[in-house]
Each structure stands twice: as C-alpha cells, then as structure tokens.
Amino acid sequence: MSWKVLITARGIQTAGEQAQELLRKAGCEIIFPSKFGPLKADELTHALAGMDAVLASLDDYSAPVLSAAGPLKIIARWGVGYDSVDVAAATRNGILVTYTPGLLDDAVADYTFALLLGVARRVHEAQAAMERGEWRNYWGDDVGGKTLGIFGFGRIGQAVARRAAGFNMRVLAHTPHPSPEIKGVEFVSLETLLEESDFVSLHAALTSSTRGLIGEPQLRRMKRGAYLINTARGALVDETALVRALREKWIAGAALDVFAVEPLPAESELRSAPNILLSPHQSSYARGTGERVSLAAARGIVDLMQGKKPGNLLNPEVFAAPQLRARLRE
C-alpha cells in the first residue's frame, strides 16, 4: 500500500527530516505544493487532488474544499490550532482530523516572553538603529515585578505564568474554567485583567465568541503604559483598533506573531504603526520542538495507513460515519 501525502506545513522543510523518513519508509509518496501554506481554498482544492493525506498548515479546510477532496482520509495538523478546519464537515466526509497538543507549549511560552521583553525594552528599535549605522539608546520599561494578564489559561498560558514567576511578576488570568488551586495566579474578570495589567498576553483559541474580542473598548480599558502581546490567533484582535490605539497612545506598545490575514499583507497599517514588534508566526519555530511536532503529525498518518487509530484525534465520531474513507484493522 502506498499513500500520497501532501505537506503544506512549512516546518517540515527544515525540521522534519525524521518525519519525512518515517513517511517514506512506510511507503508514502511525499508531495510538496508549489508554495507552503496557509493555502487559500482554491489553491488547496487543486493541491489536494488525488491525495490520501495532508500534513497541514493553517490552510482553508472549509466544507466545499473537503467535499471536493476525493480520496483524502486524514488531515494531520502541524500544531495545536485547528480553527481553519471545519471538523464537522470533515466528519461528514469521513475524514479524520488530528493535531499535536502539548508539544508546542514551552516553545510558544519562551517566544511569548521574548516578545514581551523585546517590546518592553525596545530591542527591535535599537537593532534597527544599529543597522542604520546609528548609536542611540532607547528607554524601555521594567518587566520584573510588574503585572502580567493572561487571557486564556490552557497549557501555553500556564507555561507563560511559570516563566513570569521567575520575573517576580503578579499574574492575573481570565479563562472560562478557572483553577483556583493554581498557586501564584489570580483569576479575574476580563475587565479587571485589562485595567490592572502592565502586559496583556493572549493565549485563547479562536472561536465565534473570541473573534475580535480585543477591540477599541478593551484597548481603551488598558493602562496607557501597558503592552499587548499576541502569539495565539491574529483574529482575536481588531487590528484597525490596535493601529489607532498605538498611534493615539492609548497603550504603550504591542508585539504580534499572528495576524488576521497571513502572510501579513505588505500594505497592512500594522507595518507602519509606532511601538510595535512584528514577527511572521514563528513562535513554535524552535528546532527540537519542530522535529517532535513533525514526527507526531507524520506518525498519525502512518498509523492510519496501517489500519490503526491515530492518537490526538479531534473527531473520533468519524469512525461511526458510513462515509469513513480509511480502512481499519478488525
């Protein structure tokens, strides 16, 4: 048996040699598209033609795309976010969806703190000045002893809180399911978190209720000396309101690794906003982490090809669907 496996996740290119070897040894034929994802619906529909599996970026796996996906049996997400996948539509079409939870936590938490420190101490501005041949000092803000507000307190949010403890920070958290037994963290309302935090870090999933959650009213609630950090999903933030907040100095600055549209358009006003640090959705790009995530995603594909149920399945009910496209061992 041989499966055709499309790879749209860019991380496989430089941190996925072992994953590629695993797939090839299992008898898979690996296909790379003309460009890595995220792929738009029309691009993805074309790329998925004849594919049995996809090791996926944040491509547009909408219902029309999945209905036209021919022999596709599994979408193995490289990473933890799956808001770009219509899981219900995948189930209706007999397609399994897997992801890789728990493997990105430390890498993303490390990067969150890198952004927090970088924007607070204006490292990016000093670097830009040095590249221009200047010798100029930039006054930043202290981090130690300040208040960090974490919106979304899952595994990554908790990992960020552990790092904040090393900076002797007061940690506030807002989540639908607070855990008061966690020491050193105060669970508060979103309003309290915004009003009292010196740094607000976003770690929530993107849902219909969180889309655009940080807009003008929320940004105006923040301290004038506060910073916004987002390594979760770009659409959590109203980017137009954020640009205005930075230009009119409602807040001190922002650091973003994620955007509502990716890649970030060249004409985006975020690129010219003051006091902002931008990076291209690379919080999980730590080499060891990338290798582990790549292997986990590839292993799910191999397991299914060999008739086994893969782990970290988002839609186990698919096995009861008459449209199930994969054959399992009895």
> Measured between alpha carbons, how far is 158 from 102 in angstroms, rounded to an integer?
12
Please give the structure tokens belonging to residue 327: 């054959």
β strands within the chain, DSSP E:
4-7, 29-31, 53-56, 74-77, 96-98, 147-151, 170-174, 185-187, 199-202, 227-230, 253-256, 276-278
Q: What is the pLDDT of residue 330?
A: 61
CA angle 79, 66, 37 (to 5 degrees): 40
Q: Could you write out the DSSP letters of every residue in 12-65?
A: HHHH-HHHHHHHHHTTPEEE--SS-SSPPHHHHHHHTTT-SEEEE-S--B-HHH
- pLDDT tens for the chain, 330 residues: list them: 689 999 999 999 889 999 999 999 999 999 999 999 999 999 999 999 999 999 999 999 999 999 999 899 999 999 998 999 999 999 999 999 999 999 999 999 999 999 999 999 999 999 999 999 999 999 999 999 999 999 999 999 999 999 999 999 999 999 998 887 788 999 999 999 999 999 999 999 999 999 999 999 999 999 999 999 999 999 999 999 999 999 999 999 999 999 999 999 999 999 999 999 999 999 999 999 999 999 999 999 999 999 999 999 999 999 998 999 998 886
Q: Decide if 268 contacts 237 (C-beta within 8 A).
A: no
- In the set 174, 221, 281, 299, the catalytic residue is 281
Residue spans of the domains in the chain: they are 4-103+286-320, 105-278
CATH 3.40.50.720 fits 105-278, yes or no: yes
Residue (of 112, 155, 109, 147) closest to 256 by Cα position = 112
* Largest distance between two CA atoms of the chain: 70
Q: Decide if 43 contacts 21 (C-beta within 8 A).
A: no
Q: Decide if 4 contacts 33 (C-beta within 8 A).
A: no
* Catalytic residue flag (residue 281): yes
How many CA atoms lie less than 13 Å away from 131 in the CB half-sphere?
Answer: 6
Please give the structure tokens belonging to residue 86: 């219509």
Q: 3-state SS of the chain: helix, strand, coil percent to 5?
A: 35, 15, 50
Task: With H, G, I as helix, E, B as strand and everything else as coil, classify residue 174.
Answer: strand
How many CA atoms lie less than 13 Å away from 322 in the CB half-sphere?
Answer: 0
> Measured between alpha carbons, how far is 131 from 250 in angstroms, rounded to an integer?
29
Q: What is the pLDDT of residue 288?
A: 96
pTM recorded for the entire structure: 0.91
Q: Do domains 4-103+286-320 and 105-278 have the same CATH topology?
A: yes
Angstrom CA distances, 328 to 135, 271, 310, 324, stand at 65, 49, 11, 10
Could you say which architecture CATH assigns to the domain 4-103+286-320? 3-Layer(aba) Sandwich (3.40)
Dihedral angle at the C-alpha atoms of 223, 224, 225, 228, nearest 10 degrees?
70
Residue (of 100, 78, 94, 98) closest to 328 by Cα position = 94
Q: What is the pLDDT of residue 123?
A: 98
> Measured between alpha carbons, how far is 242 from 167 in angstroms, rounded to an integer?
27
If you ran DSSP here, which 8-state letter would residue 200 be given? E
Residue (of 6, 1, 4, 16) closest to 296 by Cα position = 16
Which residues are 229's β-sheet partners? 201, 255
Q: Decide if 70 contacts 95 (C-beta within 8 A).
A: no
> Measured between alpha carbons, how far is 296 from 79 in angstroms, rounded to an integer?
10
* Catalytic residue flag (residue 233): yes
